[in-house]
Structure 1
Amino acid sequence: MIGVLALQGDVREHLATLSALGAEAVLVRRPEELAAVDALVVPGGESTTMAKLAARSGLLQPLRDAVAGGLPVYGSCAGMILLADRLLDAPADQVTVGGLDVTVRRNAFGRQVDSFESQVEIDGVPGGPVHAVFIRAPWVEQAGEGVEVLGRVVGGAADGRIVAVRQGSLVATSFHPELTGDRRVHALFVDTVRRHLAEQAGSAPEGAAGDERGPRAVDERASSPVDTAGRPRTRPTSASEEDL
């Protein structure tokens, strides 16, 4: 079972994408709901607001404890900011969940009017470049030794900037794959969850990565997220009004 942190942001788009992949996806608003899930998605939104709401609802420390305990987490945009150990251009009082050994620059690509779409090659994601939506997006200024860089911007003023990373069972992107209908980044995370659950169970996954299964995380009947040419099978979803 994969939870989506439902304090603020584009929650419904992540729920829809995970459900389309066959995962059991649920909302997480309280500590007891967090304790019940096998993995978590932290959506895009406004990172300072999300952190304050997490603190007020008693979720901030449980989130930190869960990440420190090895819970698989995927963060998109604001989710990347909240997973970062270090921030640049952040308010002095901004707090994060942490766990990801990166330095992230908030609003690195500019203001809302500077939002853009681009193609990004992501290591571990088959089928060609991912169509990436950047909305007041951060980038990774510096990644620690244990962090795997999965994707960078190609071309333009931000050429070479890191926009997708993985460290153990933590995955983060600067962009919003949930807004495009392309499920491949989420499929990468679901695969990460399967591996984590298999390791917890004391057995290695069998077969190809796409054939792995883990308890509660994925419905066996789920169809492939992409066709044989790597194209997403679903039409794009619309952005939530409160997404940033």
Structure 2
Amino acid sequence: MRGPVIGVLALQGDVREHLAALTGVGVDARPVRRPAELDAVDGLVIPGGESTTMSKLVDIFGLREPVDKRIAAGMPVYGSCAGMIMLAAEVLDGRPDQRGFAGIGMTVRRNAFGRQVDSFEAPVRVAGVDGPAFHAVFIRAPWVERVDPGVEVLGRVTGGPAVDRVVAVRQGNLLATSFHPELTGDLRLHRYFADLVAAAR
């Protein structure tokens, strides 16, 4: 039996870095730009980038309805940073015309940690992932202000002015983080997601 095939939404953002991280954990990783490419994958990563631009490109490339349908059917999806925003049911401080996939019952605040110059790094422990705290990189990142029942909080900021803010969540087969594990060489979250995809198959 073949291993899982995981796509990376390749419209904008940290596409190459996620593809490399997934390949590093032994996954068949492929860019996804068209509905036919989405049909060929078992799971999907929505990368960091610019969520308003990503929202527009999802419509231009005809991917909104196909991704919505796959999420409703149980396809595992992992969103990092802008990907977290794209998976949120509610976005604060977003553009009025901004639309995501609304897969996770949570409210996120876009650019909650400030502008690009306010980007920072902090240790974050993620429940269910063995080993030391992640060296988490936050770049114009969101944080989670509220979660519905059934959404599991996996990680919080452990220090600094944003201490205790929620930055990692899971709801069923949907996973999201405010930070960028693809930028640090720490492959544990990608392995965690690959295991989730394999179990869902």
1:178 aligns with 2:182: yes
Could you say which structure has the larger radius of gyration? 1
Q: CA RMSD in A?
A: 0.7
1:187 aligns with 2:191: yes
| Alpha-carbon separation, structure 2, partners of 1:12 and 1:156 | 31
1:82 aligns with 2:95: no
Instruction: Using the TM superposition, give the Cα deviation of residue 22 of structure 1 relative to its aligned residue in structure 2, in angstroms.
Output: 0.3
Aligned pairs for 1:118-129 (under 5 A) are: 118-129=122-133
1:33 aligns with 2:37: yes
Residues 166-219 of structure 1: CA distance to partner in whole angstroms, max 9, x if unpaired? Answer: 01000000000000000011111111112111xxxxxxxxxxxxxxxxxxxxxx
C-alpha contact 2:122 2:159 (8 A) present in aligned 1: no
Where does structure 2 lack aligned partners over 5 or more consecutive residues? none
Which residue identity does 1:48 align to in structure 2?
T
Aligned pairs for 1:1-244 (under 5 A) are: 1-197=5-201
TM-score normalised by the chain length of structure 2: 0.97
TM-score normalised by the chain length of structure 1: 0.80
Instruction: Using the TM superposition, give the Cα deviation of residue 164 of structure 1 relative to its aligned residue in structure 2, in angstroms.
Output: 0.3
**Partner of 2:186: helix, strand, or coil?**
coil
Number of equivalences: 197
**Partner of 1:61: helix, strand, or coil?**
helix
| Alpha-carbon separation, structure 1, partners of 2:182 and 2:86 | 18
Moved over 6 A (4+): none
Which residue identity does 1:154 align to in structure 2?
T
Higher strand share: 2
Where does structure 1 lack aligned partners over 5 or more consecutive residues? 198-244
Instruction: Using the TM superposition, give the Cα deviation of residue 60 of structure 1 relative to its aligned residue in structure 2, in angstroms.
Output: 1.1
Instruction: Using the TM superposition, give the Cα deviation of residue 68 of structure 1 relative to its aligned residue in structure 2, in angstroms.
Output: 1.2
| Alpha-carbon separation, structure 2, partners of 1:143 and 1:188 | 21
| Alpha-carbon separation, structure 2, partners of 1:134 and 1:162 | 13
Residues 71-102 of structure 1: CA distance to partner in whole angstroms, max 9, x if unpaired? Answer: 10000000000000111011111111111111
